[in-house]
Amino acid sequence: MMGGADTLLRQEPWFVSLAVLGALYTAAVVLRLLSHLALLLRRPRDLRRRYGAWAVVTGPTSGIGQSMALELARLGLNLVLVGRDPAKLQDISETISKTRSVQTKTVVFDLALVATPRGDPYARCTTQASPRHPWDEAVRRLREAVEGLDVGVLVNNAGVAKPCALYLHEVDVEAWVRMMRVNLCALTEVTAAVLPGMVQRGRGAVVNIGSGSSEAIPSFPLYTIYAASKRYVAQFSRSLYVEYRSKGIDVQCQVSPRTEENQPTLRRSDASTYYPRKKNPTKKIAPS
């Protein structure tokens, strides 16, 4: 051992510096690895005791959201299930009630309606007499549903990946905007509706479902809007975590790898049958 140190000290200074740097870097990597391993070995938290008795899950009617809802119910959390299809919501609610002794509530909310022009909050303030937009109603229903409940966990899972495998100019902008409404506007709106209760109780966890398309790879061509919307989710989560850390609220962005269920396996040629191409995608828009 001493011999090894002597040999090292007899080397050129640049070599010694590089060796020390290398050793420090390796030690840092090993420490990080060990801390991750320690996390894996830790017993799972009792979510109900740590955060609260209820969880809100968006998009619980299929895929990842359904699995999350079933798992949270298995862990003993009551559920507020938020989705657009009343029949599917009823289905999942009954499945949970039959298998677990937890309570469920359902909130019908088409997240693609969030931030539609008629639902603009400023327009709402100035034209009080105008009829309420379905989106207003849905947010109100969600706020009412969570009011007074000890909501400890919010899972922002609902998200859309279609239109997929298409160039930006090939699809009507409205289709991209719908995707943005669900993937980022609705996620923001739902979080804003659930957070006040968590702040009041001084505890809570917000779990946002991101995607490897924005984190694991440098670009995701033909899924540009989807990947960009998921980058929003990741950055939103990072900043929100810092913003609410002192209020006892944890925020996490889970970067899901690709799962098989419900994943579109569209070829570009198939995609155009679902999302008709614009008549003349290259036509320039005249300045107004």
Ligand X SMILES: NC(=O)c1ccc[n+]([C@@H]2O[C@H](COP(=O)([O-])OP(=O)(O)OC[C@H]3O[C@@H](n4cnc5c(N)ncnc54)[C@H](OP(=O)(O)O)[C@@H]3O)[C@@H](O)[C@H]2O)c1
In the complex, the residues that contact ligand X under the rule CB under 6 A are: 59, 61-65, 83-85, 88, 110-112, 157-161, 182, 209, 211, 256, 258-259, 262-263
Give which of 83, 224, 102, 88 is closest to 156, Cα–Cα: 83
Residues 6+ apart with CB under 8 A from 253: 208, 209, 210, 233, 234, 236, 237, 238
CB closer to ligand X, 100 vs 181:
181
Q: How far is the CB of 221 from ligand X (least distance, A)?
A: 17
Give which of 285, 283, 282, 272 is closest to 171, Cα–Cα: 272
Q: By the 8 A CB rule, do 228 and 221 touch? A: no
> What DSSP state is assigned to residue 260?
S
Q: How far is the CB of 105 from ligand X (least distance, A)?
A: 16
Q: How far is the CB of 162 from ligand X (least distance, A)?
A: 9
226 annotated active-site: yes
CB closer to ligand X, 5 vs 87:
87
Q: By the 8 A CB rule, do 93 and 81 touch? A: yes
CB closer to ligand X, 85 vs 147:
85
CA distances for 228 relative to 113, 234, 236, angstroms: 20, 10, 12
CB closer to ligand X, 84 vs 100:
84
Q: Which of 223, 226, 232, 275 is catalytic?
A: 226
Q: How far is the CB of 217 from ligand X (least distance, A)?
A: 12
Q: What is the dihedral of CA 75, 77, 81, 87, to 10 degrees?
A: 70
Q: How far is the CB of 56 from ligand X (least distance, A)?
A: 13
CB closer to ligand X, 53 vs 256:
256
Number of H helices, E strands in the chain: 12, 6
Q: By the 8 A CB rule, do 171 and 70 touch? A: no
What are the residue numbers of the active site? 226
